[in-house]
Amino acid sequence: HADEPRAGRVPRDVLARERVDHDEAVWLTERILRDGSIDENERALLTYLRKEAPHIDPALEPAFKRASL
């Protein structure tokens, strides 16, 4: 059916309810910033999180700032 998600994909409404908690934000920030630059995949992830996540812990702000988001 057209309404069913493809195998391995999470429906958009489920993703929209996801939160980025403190531990996740710290983990992600450390990994994104460890090489000193942000590549296009990291920028795309940060852009998506900024747009879709209803709550993002402030610990992710350094990564957003580095990506100019």
Question: Mean pLDDT in the chain?
Answer: 85
Residue 50 vs residues 1, 8, 30, 63: alpha-carbon distances, Å: 31, 23, 17, 11
pLDDT over 70, % of the chain: 75
- Confirm if 69 and 47 have CB atoms less than 8 A apart: yes
Q: How confident is the model at residue 18 (pLDDT cuts 50, 70, 90)?
A: confident
pLDDT of residue 17: 64
pLDDT beyond 70 at 13: no
